[in-house]
Structure 1
């Protein structure tokens, strides 16, 4: 596999060009020139001299993330800071720690854009880059699990890194489109060494020593770029079979061979046995949503569309073709509001009846109530036969012909695919690593990793950190119930921490996730800006009616006057009573108005409005119609009357249920 340039020097020639020169070899290798006025990208011949007026940037470039076109200019996104996360099988793995955005238009500044729409779009990109966890390696394909790399080793020989990636987890695939298209169209302009694939996920690598054997324990998660987004604005499935919050999690166990006492240890990266165990998670593959209304529990909505069975079948067949047999573990409650999701899921799984798909339900909250978290063992006992049959991937360096393959996978979900899913996946991973170590004769048949505190602590912390990272990316806060993963016990302190995290999630999901969702849609190419920034002024305008916008101000001012009333001089008791009655009445009216029109106060995505989901009236289930005004669900709110403040009124988008179409110029 072709290696990538690890360090680039950036030269600028006045306002005409950007020149990227590989730092390792200088101009003796092929540098890359980007002409700012025309946007042309040219791979220079070896030993091409730099222009005499070219000036070098003081910052080193560690990779090109890609190019994105906004309203006024195209921009090159580059990595200007990286953090070493570990060395996996001889390859260094980095996290992108800092970025820069370089405008091609010489009359546009990325730090002080001339139009507010351009500034808003740049702010979305910066927030996405700042909040995301982006990982990469220059010589190791982080997008693919170990088994897939082994199976494709002959076909991948001599190919570029971007050519062999798993397209689902190549997070910046849309941003790299220009470079990839140039490479594919012209063999003389092969830009492959400049195309750096990133994953959005986690990477944790820890050394261990167990019964005289050096071990590396590694955990990698990969987030799919399809149907990507935030907790309440990306649920369920689309018509292509992609589900929200889809993550592949791979647990690697690297074990050195047996050594004779007193002998010298082999190279640090030379592990005799490599083992991999993979799990996946993803939203319940139905057309469903939770409509936020400022209430703590959103309105649950299941849309019984004609294409539901086809979409679910596409999704499951893709998983079967990729991983083998599917064990679907559904952790949603069998009573209450979640019951309807469970029943709809089971109905469609039964209807499509795929032979290699096996479903089972585990009512997590009911089974583990009263802090009886040891009850997760009930699920493990149920799944032992399937886990034994699916197995894990094992490669022995001394005998590469006797490879064991993982023949199937467990797909776990709860409502968010975060908290309950994290606990169950960690438990399945522990069961598997115990089996792996016993099979290798490192642990005796009756022992487990919990018997070795140092190893067990690293394992628990690794899975808890992984859970927090996935939960923060999707839900806005660290994972709930992570105290059990970290300590093997559910504690009252953990319950208190979960309460704080729940409050953080509520605030972010209701007041900040609209902009976060817009950033996902912009960076992954789901929404493409028009070249005229005036056509996108809806992104900045608040077109809600004046009464809707004034209510939070009225409530805040009323509360201020109530507090001030305690310090005012009193001419009589009657006057102060009337004073408080007046301001309490205004505060109550404002609060009730906000409550009954809650949808108008949620931070909704503006690039791809969810109006069709909010006002869906077809077959299915809806738990309530809160937050739509005093005639709930009759379209009497600002959102129902005009749909303009979400962007639909001024700049219509073509939005279908469960799928989205790109905007074109």
Structure 2
């Protein structure tokens, strides 16, 4: 489906007119052009001529349409109302969305709709995701596709949404209605379909040996099996893995002595792709309030087929796959390493090359420069430094025919160090081929350039890590400076503690937001589950906090003040009794509340699963209560926890499942009316 002659491929802004009957988008770039009408009576989407579109008194400027999403009671239209230019690539401007509006499509929507507990919660999840994710878009450049994929397209004039890599078209679920209408052939909505990328983008103008060039780095996060650190691990039946990111590093320039570039539109373009993704087997870490969750490897019959699908897809897209596994070979992580190796061994795929690298052992003492030893090992298996994509003067002169797929447990910290080293190794070869570096030179000797390079890769590491774990990456002090510092080690400690808190107490809502936005959960699948824990279970954290308050009071306040504190809790008579009889000393007071604090803490730890903020849209009960073959590091934090997947029977054989199947579920504290 090609665009209409004389019209751009994508409109770059609209005036949105709002009325009780319709939302009307009028392109600002060309008066008298087509307008998009979203009918608020039946939520249909159609094109119309300006004079034939419904009127509307309210107007606002809109920079792009994110799409339409169905919540519980109504569909909502999501639009971009503010943007910031962040880069130029190949002559096109690239923007980051900074402000959004969510507008109810149903014409009967009123303020009471937004007070409905489920609608309010789902809308809150949607807005939280919009403002926490870095959304990048361009009206003229396909951010979802690498330079190599763009060059290989048979129809370069096809609409932008048709040319995208659907894995990285982040808002594709919200654009489904627009795409289906365009695919039907009845209405060509192509100029209104704006693909957004969730990930990282940074483009820098740099100079080495008086030769200016553009260095860019793009990370594209897959919308399949997306989630947070502990709530999304491993692989699914379709072969999608968690935390899959494609990272493209590129160089754009003109030949030495050539014309000055404008908008990063040089005649020489070179790019290099790397990927990262969770270990492609069925495995999980079940949170239980302990720093190390329960690790489990689920030895399912579908594992072989799922792993095969994953690597067949990767080989079809990228060519030979060089797998770099950085998981520890001892202790807690060892079972994950062994499961990965068993799965790869069963593949018998000659285009999948596995390498194990014990990162913590090899780089002991924070000597991360030793990662170059890994690069040398990969070379012995066939990896080449000139295996990258290159275009010169509009002609493709080389294609990347392999990819390095790196993973650690989270595919974050260790993975970042290895990917940055590999990218620098390739960059040296690229710059030598252009003539920016001589045969014996390396970018490592160019201090000004290395400062820029390291910070770009450190920013990249932080953004990917924040999306998955909730904090910036670890070890970025080395990435930024080439050295490990005490301040960096301290920051890593802070990030580790922050990760623990977020992953246990806050990530459920983030996972829900991912599931809602990407379509992994839809209202037709059921409604969120309210908090059904017993009153004692819900009250215990407050008991613990109150006990801590009393302990601090006994330590910090004078003796008579402690008595007054007791009086405020138990009443004047109790306070007088304390003063008069002296039966309760500071020691007794402290001991009492210490016992209460320890007892309540022990109660919560023993029932840790009840206190984790689990996702409420797609609660992972099958993972939490998996009891099939495989490996388990333990089953902590489960005292008194009822498995909702099993039905219980009383001694006389009567079923109790209906009453207990959801007992102990922690969810959002709201009711679920129809």
TM-score by length of 2: 0.90
Provide the C-alpha distance between the structure 2 equivalents of 1:619 and 1:585, rounded to a whole number of angstroms. Answer: 40
Q: Does 1:174 find its partner at 2:173?
A: yes
Question: Does the 8 A contact of 1:625 with 1:633 survive in 2?
Answer: no
Question: Does the 8 A contact of 1:229 with 1:520 survive in 2?
Answer: yes
Partner residue in 1 for 2:574: none
Partner residue in 1 for 2:501: 507
Q: Does 1:416 find its partner at 2:414?
A: no
Identify the range of structure 1 (620-629 vs 32-41) with the bigger mean alpha-carbon deviation. 32-41
Provide the C-alpha distance between the structure 2 equivalents of 1:553 and 1:505, rounded to a whole number of angstroms. Answer: 23
- CA 1:314–1:459 in 2, change beyond 3 Å: closer, same or farther? same
Partner residue in 1 for 2:481: 487
Shift of 1:266: 5.7
1:429 maps to which of 399, 412, 423: 423
Provide the C-alpha distance between the structure 1 equivalents of 2:315 and 2:480, rounded to a whole number of angstroms. Answer: 32
Q: Does 1:290 find its partner at 2:274?
A: no
Provide the C-alpha distance between the structure 2 equivalents of 1:266 and 1:105, rounded to a whole number of angstroms. Answer: 49
Q: Does 1:30 find its partner at 2:34?
A: yes
Shift of 1:315: 0.2
Question: Does the 8 A contact of 1:103 with 1:110 survive in 2?
Answer: no
Provide the C-alpha distance between the structure 2 equivalents of 1:647 and 1:172, rounded to a whole number of angstroms. Answer: 29
Q: Does 1:7 find its partner at 2:8?
A: no
Q: How does 1:410-559 map to 2 (within 5 A)?
A: 410-530=404-524, 536=527, 538-539=528-529, 541-559=530-548
1:307 maps to which of 284, 296, 302: 302
Question: Does the 8 A contact of 2:413 with 2:474 survive in 1?
Answer: yes
Provide the C-alpha distance between the structure 2 equivalents of 1:372 and 1:564, rounded to a whole number of angstroms. Answer: 47
Shift of 1:643: 3.1
Provide the C-alpha distance between the structure 2 equivalents of 1:277 and 1:168, rounded to a whole number of angstroms. Answer: 18
Shift of 1:630: 6.7
Shift of 1:16: 1.3
Partner residue in 2 for 1:656: none
Question: Does the 8 A contact of 2:237 with 2:302 survive in 1?
Answer: yes
Provide the C-alpha distance between the structure 1 equivalents of 2:269 and 2:663, rounded to a whole number of angstroms. Answer: 56
Question: Does the 8 A contact of 1:625 with 1:632 survive in 2?
Answer: no
Provide the C-alpha distance between the structure 2 equivalents of 1:461 and 1:423, rounded to a whole number of angstroms. Answer: 13
Secondary structure at 1:113 match in 2: helix
Secondary structure at 1:543 match in 2: coil
Provide the C-alpha distance between the structure 2 equivalents of 1:178 and 1:456, rounded to a whole number of angstroms. Answer: 46
Question: Does the 8 A contact of 1:380 with 1:428 survive in 2?
Answer: yes
Question: Does the 8 A contact of 2:533 with 2:665 survive in 1?
Answer: no
Provide the C-alpha distance between the structure 1 equivalents of 2:345 and 2:582, rounded to a whole number of angstroms. Answer: 70
- CA 1:593–1:33 in 2, change beyond 3 Å: closer, same or farther? same
- CA 1:180–1:314 in 2, change beyond 3 Å: closer, same or farther? same
Deviations along 1:391-431, whole A, 9 cap, x unmatched? 00011016x1x610101000000000000000100000000
Provide the C-alpha distance between the structure 2 equivalents of 1:520 and 1:12, rounded to a whole number of angstroms. Answer: 29
Question: Does the 8 A contact of 1:101 with 1:110 survive in 2?
Answer: no
Provide the C-alpha distance between the structure 1 equivalents of 2:105 and 2:664, rounded to a whole number of angstroms. Answer: 32
Q: Does 1:202 find its partner at 2:211?
A: no
Provide the C-alpha distance between the structure 1 equivalents of 2:440 and 2:582, rounded to a whole number of angstroms. Answer: 78
Q: How many equivalent pairs are there?
A: 633
Shift of 1:641: 5.2
Provide the C-alpha distance between the structure 1 equivalents of 2:97 and 2:155, rounded to a whole number of angstroms. Answer: 26
Q: Does 1:67 find its partner at 2:68?
A: yes
- CA 1:123–1:327 in 2, change beyond 3 Å: closer, same or farther? same
Provide the C-alpha distance between the structure 2 equivalents of 1:73 and 1:633, rounded to a whole number of angstroms. Answer: 34
Partner residue in 1 for 2:162: 163
Partner residue in 2 for 1:237: 235
Provide the C-alpha distance between the structure 2 equivalents of 1:271 and 1:298, rounded to a whole number of angstroms. Answer: 50
Shift of 1:110: 7.4
Question: Does the 8 A contact of 2:73 with 2:113 survive in 1?
Answer: no
Deviations along 1:300-334, whole A, 9 cap, x unmatched? 11000001011001000100000000000000101
TM-score by length of 1: 0.91
Partner residue in 2 for 1:44: 48
- CA 1:647–1:555 in 2, change beyond 3 Å: closer, same or farther? closer
Shift of 1:593: 0.2
Shift of 1:530: 3.9
Question: Does the 8 A contact of 1:110 with 1:122 survive in 2?
Answer: no
Unaligned runs of 5+ in 1: 651-664
Question: Does the 8 A contact of 1:390 with 1:408 survive in 2?
Answer: no
Provide the C-alpha distance between the structure 2 equivalents of 1:332 and 1:110, rounded to a whole number of angstroms. Answer: 51
1:583 maps to which of 573, 588, 593: 593
- CA 1:110–1:329 in 2, change beyond 3 Å: closer, same or farther? farther
Question: Does the 8 A contact of 1:171 with 1:524 survive in 2?
Answer: yes
Provide the C-alpha distance between the structure 1 equivalents of 2:27 and 2:355, rounded to a whole number of angstroms. Answer: 53
Provide the C-alpha distance between the structure 2 equivalents of 1:445 and 1:315, rounded to a whole number of angstroms. Answer: 39
Shift of 1:351: 1.4
Partner residue in 1 for 2:651: none
Question: Does the 8 A contact of 2:614 with 2:666 survive in 1?
Answer: no
Secondary structure at 2:167 match in 1: coil
- CA 1:290–1:373 in 2, change beyond 3 Å: closer, same or farther? same
Shift of 1:107: 3.1
Partner residue in 1 for 2:633: 623
Shift of 1:390: 6.9
Question: Does the 8 A contact of 2:252 with 2:265 survive in 1?
Answer: no
Partner residue in 2 for 1:253: 251
- CA 1:163–1:111 in 2, change beyond 3 Å: closer, same or farther? farther
Deviations along 1:64-111, whole A, 9 cap, x unmatched? 001011111111100011110111010000111111001012332579
Shift of 1:130: 0.7
Q: How does 1:286-435 map to 2 (within 5 A)?
A: 286-385=281-380, 386-388=382-384, 391-397=387-393, 400=395, 403-435=397-429
Unaligned runs of 5+ in 2: 4-8, 564-577, 649-656
1:214 maps to which of 212, 219, 227: 212
Secondary structure at 1:102 match in 2: strand
- CA 1:341–1:632 in 2, change beyond 3 Å: closer, same or farther? farther
Question: Does the 8 A contact of 1:606 with 1:646 survive in 2?
Answer: no
Q: Give RMSD over aligned pairs.
A: 2.6
Deviations along 1:25-65, whole A, 9 cap, x unmatched? 13x100011111221222003x52565x52242x3101100
Provide the C-alpha distance between the structure 1 equivalents of 2:39 and 2:124, rounded to a whole number of angstroms. Answer: 25
Provide the C-alpha distance between the structure 2 equivalents of 1:461 and 1:65, rounded to a whole number of angstroms. Answer: 31
Identify the range of structure 1 (565-574 vs 583-592) with the bigger mean alpha-carbon deviation. 565-574
Secondary structure at 1:568 match in 2: helix
